[in-house]
Amino acid sequence: MERSDTLQEKMEQNGMSRRTFIKYCASLASLMALPPSAAYAMAEALGKAKRPSVIWLPFQECTGCTESITRSHSPSIEGMIFDMISLDYQETLMAAAGHQAEEALHAAMKENYGKYVLIIDGSVATGLDGAYSCIAGRSNLESLKEAAKGAAAIIALGSCASFGGIPKANPNPTGAVAVSDIIKDKPIVNIPGCPPIPVVITGVLAQFLTFGTLPELDKLGRPKAVYGETIHDRCYRRPFYDQGKFAKTFDDEGARQGWCLFELGCKGPVTYNACATTKWNDSTSFPIESGHGCIGCSEPDFWDAGGFYKALSMPADPLKMAATAAVAGAAVGVAISFANRAKKGAAKSAHETTKLEDLEK
Amino acid sequence: MPSIDQIPISIVSPDEMLTGQADAVLTEIAGMLKRLLDDGIEGSIDLRGLALSGADRVWLEKQLGRGEVEIMLEAGGWSVLTETAYPGVWKVMHRDDRDRVVAELIEVAFVPAIIRPDNGDVKKGHESLLLNLKAKTAGV
Amino acid sequence: MSASLEKGVRVLKEVIDAPIASYFNSCVHCGLCAEACLFYTETGDPKYTPIHKLEPLRRIYEQEYTLLGRLKKMAGLSKPVTDAELDEWQELVYNSCTLCARCSAVCPVGNDIVYMVRKFREGMSAAGHAPEGIKGAVNRTVSIGSPMGVKLPAVQAQMKHVEADTGLTIPLDAEGAEYMVMLSSMEIINFPEYLGAIARIMHQAGKTWTLCSTAFEATNAGIQIGNSDLAKVIVSRIVDGAEKLKVKTVISPECGHAYTALRWEGANLVGRPFTFEVKHILEVLAEFQEKNLLKTEGFETDKLTFHDPCQLVRRGGVVQQPRKLINQIAKNFVEMPDSGFMNWCCGGGGGASAIEEGEELRLEAFRKKKSQLEAVKPDRLVTACANCRIVLEEGLEHYQMDIPVVGLTEMIAEHLPERQKPEGS
Amino acid sequence: MNELQFLTWVRGTGLNIAVGIFLLGVLWRLFEIYSLGRKQDLSAPRHASGASGFHTIFRRSLPPPGMLKRSPVSYIGGYVFHIGLAIVVFLFAPHILLIKNLTGLSWPALPSQFIDLMAVVTMAAMVVVLVDRINKPVKRFLSTFEDWFTWTVTFLPVLTGWMAVQHLLLPYTTMLALHILSVELLLVVLPFTKLFHVFTLFGSRWYNGKVNGHKGVPV
């Protein structure tokens, strides 16, 4: 099937009006915290944009991110954006396989050198020279370095690509690291989440296509517009937190009343994401709405943050060293007491009885 | 002494508090109106990007009031564009085809931009009308 | 480090014990001990804060007996104690401390500060940093037998005088007597009434008693200078005398430190428990009173108040006895503010009265006693310590206050029925 | 390091290290101090000293006659600060939850509003005793770096805890992490500074009371 060259044409083919597209752009602009007027510019630019080449490399991942994007319940427009891009390599989605796929990848990289957008999902294994994760006999580490060279920008999709994610969890047997730990000379947008919210990636792509810019990022490389506030800040159960009303177990009266899940280990206060506003499953709900605390999946090292069901204020690891320290302290103490007693004893045996004349110096 | 259940209890939820944000919105709208008059520059405010409480929204709604025009727009879901009591100030609510609110704006313009048909669209409409006419003539 | 300093430090290493370690670690620098010390309250000079008087001792403790302190010392980060420093501290440890123990009584963390001063004096004296006045007193006590240089003939002269006066025999070296009576040289020289009073009281009570020719002097300047070796020499004479005469009880005279030296320190100095009891004369009198063996007649009618010697109340536990005794012979007994357990020191205890260069400070500190006395305006001041009595008299004279000071024992003796025949004779 | 990682560190590794040093330090210091021993008192007691040591442990918490008047700030400020601190530390619901988590023991909490008030009162009292330390010649004379330092490490947990609860200045998470960190600092320095009086105080009062009991001194 022949593809249309611009989105405008594609829309016309699908019988979609310009106003529909403007509305969609207005919602994207709102999500990306762009000024509302940007919607019109976006609509115009997107309408005329040529299909940029996108190369999507999967590393140590579970395909959850791909699932999240492709199973998004959003209307056809988001799918269309994907149609719009020239997804030249995506192992899971592409029809080609084996040598054919590799050839497609290298052809795309060569043809669009310096212009393509590189999407990575999954963390990069660095242990044993990256041998833990290979595609076509080449380590992810090698592939990443090669693909990054010609990329205009890199999108690290999901917590694994953004921060190392679950492969990096203690004890990290594969030496997993984030994309940003390897690539230092390219703009990288981190879209963490396990999985990330689908609309965020379309928003970032739309902005890149429209303005040729990447969204404003926070210090962890995440779009500020989406990751600017915590789940806790936007949580509908927040008033209960402020009133000190907490569910103590998952089946108590508090839980039934929909009270705050802080004491049940909710990581909402330390998790920066938009789940509480964009929600999941076609805007049905988000974890807290279903009665389970946030597990902080979009934060670095969330897997090792002290247990999903332990309140943030609780010690993560109840006093591992206490017994050892007590024994060591007692040992030090006993050693000093022997030394002290010896010293005191020596002073005593060296005692010279004071006589009257000794009172004078 | 009254028993404990006779003591009246009132629960104040955050939605019942004015944050003062709505005041600022009004001031900004006034500024935008002046720019529209002086320089013809249109403006808009993304209401969902502001931390407005329920009470703020109700208050704002009341302050803005209603004008004479209400436009329904069906494009991938219904949108409602309502003129407020202040001509040139529009309240815009976009919904998608599943009736979810996707954008909620205040637009300051003589006519919201989305209403004005695009030149290209008009041109295409004109062409298809001519074609239509030709077909009718030919068909007779 | 000079040999004497080395010796002093070694002695301190010997005496530092768990209580001292606990006390230093507990101190939070709250400064409340200063509020309890009359040298601070009357001068307002923070250097008289009791815990500060122990600073060199604290550093030696830290440098010698704590791991961190030893590491700091090894790394050369700690300030060593020097002769010059101890010299500077001599005034703080002796002149401005009477071992009155008010600080120990108020310390909120429970530090027995005066216990530490006493121990610190061990090192100070061994290092040769004791004041001349106390050194002299020790010298005389050890070599002559009494801090004022009183010898047995002087006592015998007194005895004769009292015998003539009372018509009673003063027993000397009477083996098997129930009580062995000790004197303080101040009493022998300044307050001879004491011996007569004892003779009459014992006679009336029908008790056997004796003086000891080898141990009549109770005061122990070794305790005041803080040197256990010398204090032991002095106290051993009494122990030997008491054991030789096989007495049941040794009576400490009206002298605070003599009582502490004998009652609480004695056994520890000689290294074994005593075979006899030690009692302060007031304790004995109170016992007599309880058993109805102390009969008096008549009452003092002028306004009396009682100065509690520190070593009797705070360090000795003798609080109620003097009050009961006074009330038997006085109609108008009033208490000074803070009297009893928290009474203020006269300013001359702990050997301080023997330090000539400390006189000015002593008189300054006496203002505390002056204000206590002004609050009740007594006609006469009763006490039970010859040293207090001398210091009080000096202070009162200096501030031109006309309040005579009397010893409680002799005051009681004055109320014994005249010329009463001993029972059964 | 972001907030979650910071918080994870302070409530994990950081807390382990702090509690480890604390326990090690406390045992080491207790041995170091009390193993020095003392000579047996050979003098005959006036009467058996009995429970006088224990009595003094409690009675020394009250001002001796006349002292309250001489140094009201030390006593009243001290009481408010120590009692306030005890209330805030041991009767605040999240702290009880923590103790329950560690030891399984728990007891009823006081209302958060009251704890909040107590925290403010405690801080006020601490500021007052600090000002007193600066103003009073004796206290200033006795004060060393350690005095200012220990005041600060005691004050910080109260301040950061209160600020975390009040959502002041920094996001709750960061403040909570700082709060836990400040408590860890307190735990680490406690055995090696004058703050160790929380342990030796009992020994010191006991020794003092025992000696007094032996002599029959009424305390």
- Write down which chains contact chain B via at least 3 CB pairs under 8 A: A
Confidence of residue A42 (pLDDT cuts 50, 70, 90): confident
Contacts with A242 from chain B: Cβ below 8 Å: 14
**What is the three-class DSSP state of B78?**
strand
- Write down which chains contact chain A via at least 3 CB pairs under 8 A: B, C, D
Give the residue from B47, B105, B127 with the most A CB atoms within 10 Å of its CB, the best one to mutate.
B105
Q: CB distance B79–A20 less than 8 Å? A: no
Give the pLDDT confidence score for residue C165 in this predicted structure. Answer: 86
CATH number of the domain enclosing C377: 3.40.50
Question: Alpha-carbon distance D157 to D136, whole Å?
Answer: 26
Q: CB distance D20–A324 less than 8 Å? A: yes
Confidence of residue C425 (pLDDT cuts 50, 70, 90): very low
Choose from A16-25, A311-320, B111-120, C43-52 the range with maximum mean pLDDT.
C43-52
Question: Considering the domain boundaries, does residue C425 fall inside one?
Answer: no
Kindly list the domain boundaries of chain D, sorted by start residue: 3-16+69-215
Q: C153: domain range?
A: 140-290
Nearest CA to CA, how far is B43 from chain A (Å)?
7
Q: What is the mean pLDDT of chain A?
A: 83
Same domain as C362, residue C265:
no
How big is the A-C interface in CB pairs under 8 Å? Answer: 53
Task: Name the H helices within chain D.
Answer: 3-9, 15-34, 52-59, 67-70, 72, 78-91, 93-103, 112-135, 137-142, 145-166, 172-189, 197-215
Kindly list the domain boundaries of chain B, sorted by start residue: 14-115
Give the pLDDT confidence score for residue A318 in this predicted structure. Answer: 64
Nearest to C389 by CA among C198, C194, C221, C220: C194
Question: Alpha-carbon distance C62 to C142, whole Å?
Answer: 35
Contacts with A282 from chain B: Cβ below 8 Å: 98
**Residue D80 CB neighbour total at 10 angstroms:** 18
Confidence of residue C422 (pLDDT cuts 50, 70, 90): very low
**What is the three-class DSSP state of A284?**
coil
pLDDT at A316 over 80: no
pLDDT tens digits, residue range C139-186?
Answer: 888 888 888 888 889 889 889 988 998 889 899 999 999 999 999 887
Q: CB distance A269–D5 less than 8 Å? A: no
Q: What angle do CA A199, A204, A208 make, to 5 degrees?
A: 145
Same domain as C186, residue C282:
yes
At residue A121, φ and ψ (nearest 5 deg) are -120, 145
Would you say C54 and C20 are in contact if contact means Cβ atoms under 8 Å apart?
no
Q: CB distance A315–D2 less than 8 Å? A: no
Would you say C25 and D33 are in contact if contact means Cβ atoms under 8 Å apart?
yes
Q: What is the mean pLDDT of chain B?
A: 82
Residue by residue, pLDDT tens for chain D (219 residues) are 677 788 888 888 888 899 999 999 999 999 999 999 899 999 999 887 678 888 888 888 888 888 888 899 999 999 999 999 999 999 998 898 888 877 888 899 888 889 999 999 999 999 999 999 999 999 999 999 999 999 999 999 999 999 988 878 887 778 889 999 999 999 999 999 999 999 999 999 999 999 998 998 876
B94 Cβ contact partners less than 8 Å away, ≥ 6 residues apart: A23, A26, A27, B77, B79, B101, B102, B103, B104, B105
pLDDT at C258 over 60: yes
Give yes or no for A302 touching D (CB within 8 A).
yes
pLDDT more than 70, % of chain C: 98
Give yes or no for A326 touching D (CB within 8 A).
yes
pLDDT more than 90, % of chain C: 79
**Domain boundary, last residue among C267, C290, C313:** C290
Of A344, A355, A356, the CB nearest to C13: A344
| Residues 58-77, chain D, touching C (beta carbon < 8 A) | 60-61, 63-67, 70-71, 74
Q: CB distance A26–B94 less than 8 Å? A: yes
Between A42 and A104, the higher pLDDT residue: A104
- Write down which chains contact chain C via at least 3 CB pairs under 8 A: A, D
Domain count, chain C: 3
Of B43, B103, B114, the CB nearest to A27: B103
Contacts with D41 from chain C: Cβ below 8 Å: 268
Give yes or no for A273 touching D (CB within 8 A).
no
Nearest to D25 by CA among D35, D33, D37, D14: D33
At residue C415, φ and ψ (nearest 5 deg) are -100, 5
Q: Which residues pair with C249 in a beta bridge?
A: C179, C277
Of D12, D98, D176, the CB nearest to A306: D12
DSSP string for residues in C234-297: HHHHHHHHHHHHT-SEEEE-S-HHHHIIIIIIHHHHHTS--SSEEEEHHHHHHHHHHTT-----
Would you say D115 and D78 are in contact if contact means Cβ atoms under 8 Å apart?
no
Q: CB distance A321–D35 less than 8 Å? A: no
CATH level 2 (architecture), domain B14-115 = 2-Layer Sandwich (3.30)
- Residue C189's H or E segment, with its range, is helix C185-189
Q: What is the mean pLDDT of chain C?
A: 91
Give the pLDDT confidence score for residue A80 in this predicted structure. Answer: 55
Nearest to D1 by CA among A220, C323, C292: A220
Choose from A88-92, A151-155, A351-355 the range with maximum mean pLDDT.
A151-155
Confidence of residue A4 (pLDDT cuts 50, 70, 90): very low
Q: Is this prediction's ipTM beyond 0.90?
A: no
Give yes or no for D37 touching C (CB within 8 A).
yes
Of B73, B105, B118, the CB nearest to A36: B105
Domains of chain A plus CATH, in order, are 7-226 (3.40.50.700), 231-304 (4.10.480.10)
Lowest mean pLDDT among B10-19, C50-59, C411-420: B10-19
Burial of C161 (0-12, 13-18, 19+ CB in 10 A): middle
Give the pLDDT confidence score for residue D56 in this predicted structure. Answer: 86
Question: Alpha-carbon distance C117 to A350, whole Å?
Answer: 23
D149 Cβ contact partners less than 8 Å away, ≥ 6 residues apart: D189, D193
What single letter denotes the amino acid at residue C417? P
pLDDT at C403 over 90: yes
Give the pLDDT confidence score for residue B108 in this predicted structure. Answer: 92
Give the pLDDT confidence score for residue B12 in this predicted structure. Answer: 46
Confidence of residue B4 (pLDDT cuts 50, 70, 90): low
pLDDT tens digits, residue range B40-93?
Answer: 888 888 887 676 767 788 888 899 999 999 999 888 788 999 999 999 999 999
Question: Alpha-carbon distance A162 to A179, whole Å?
Answer: 6
pLDDT tens digits, residue range A89-141?
Answer: 777 777 778 888 888 888 888 988 988 889 999 999 999 988 999 988 889 99
Same domain as C214, residue C120:
no
Would you say C373 and C151 are in contact if contact means Cβ atoms under 8 Å apart?
no
Contacts with A352 from chain C: Cβ below 8 Å: 7
Contacts with A170 from chain D: Cβ below 8 Å: none
pLDDT at B10 over 60: no
CA distances from D155 to B112, D84, D130, D166 (A): 59, 12, 10, 16
Q: CB distance D204–C26 less than 8 Å? A: yes
Question: Alpha-carbon distance D99 to B119, whole Å?
Answer: 72
pLDDT tens digits, residue range C180-226?
Answer: 999 988 788 877 888 888 999 999 999 999 999 999 999 899 999 99
Average pLDDT score over residue span C96-124: 94
Give yes or no for D127 touching C (CB within 8 A).
no
Nearest CA to CA, how far is D7 from chain A (Å)?
8
pLDDT tens digits, residue range C380-393?
Answer: 999 999 899 999 99
Of D64, D192, D203, the CB nearest to C342: D64
pLDDT tens digits, residue range A252-263?
Answer: 888 888 889 988
pLDDT tens digits, residue range A286-306?
Answer: 899 889 999 999 999 999 888
Confidence of residue C337 (pLDDT cuts 50, 70, 90): very high
Give the pLDDT confidence score for residue C109 in this predicted structure. Answer: 94
Write out the E strands in chain A: 53-58, 86-90, 116-121, 124-125, 134-135, 138-139, 151-157, 176-177, 188-191
Contacts with B79 from chain A: Cβ below 8 Å: 23
Question: Considering the domain boundaries, does residue C51 fall inside one?
Answer: yes
Same domain as C154, residue C98:
no
Task: Name the H helices within C27-180.
Answer: 32-36, 38-43, 55-65, 67-74, 83-90, 102-106, 113-126, 132-143, 152-166
Q: Helix crossing, A198-211 with A38-48: angle to 10°? A: 80
- Touching, B vs C (3+ Cβ pairs under 8 A): no
Nearest to B29 by CA among B40, B44, B41: B44
Q: CB distance B114–A37 less than 8 Å? A: no
How big is the A-D interface in CB pairs under 8 Å? Answer: 129
Q: CB distance A18–B49 less than 8 Å? A: no
pLDDT at C106 over 50: yes
Question: Alpha-carbon distance B65 to B55, whole Å?
Answer: 15
Q: CB distance A325–D30 less than 8 Å? A: no
**Residue A155 CB neighbour total at 10 angstroms:** 28
**What is the three-class DSSP state of B71?**
strand
Read off the tokens for A22. 């403007």
